[in-house]
Amino acid sequence: MRPVNAAVTPDLFIGPLSPELVLVSPPEVRHLARGLLTPPPPAARCVLPVALEPQLGSVELAAVWIFCLAMTIGPMLFMLLASS
C-alpha cells in the first residue's frame, strides 16, 4: 500500500529551507522546494595567479645569519675584552 500524497502549496515555503528538510521530504515536496531555489551562480571567472616575490637564496640567507650572529656575539666579545 502506497502512502497518500498530500497536496503541497508553495505557501508552505515562506521562510528559508533547510537542506536537511529537503533531503528527507517526499519527492513531491522535494521537487517544489528545489523549484523555489535561486538559480546557481554563473561559472567562476579564471583568476590569474598572483606573481610571487622572489625568495631569498641560500647565499643571501647565509649572509643574514652571519650578520645576526655578528650583531649578537660582537658586543659580547667587546664586553669580555674590556673586562679583562
Query: In this predicted structure, what is the pLDDT of residue 13?
Result: 59
Assigned C-alpha cell, 73: 656575539
Q: How many other C-beta atoms lie within 10 A of the C-beta of residue 33?
A: 20
Across the chain, mean pLDDT equals 76
pTM of the model: 0.33
Query: What pLDDT digit, counting tens, does each position of 42-60 carry?
Result: 776 677 777 777 777 888 8
Place of cell 554563473: 42
- Ranked by mean pLDDT, the top range of 26-30, 38-42, 51-55 is 26-30
Region 2-22 average pLDDT: 61
Confidence of residue 3 (pLDDT cuts 50, 70, 90): low
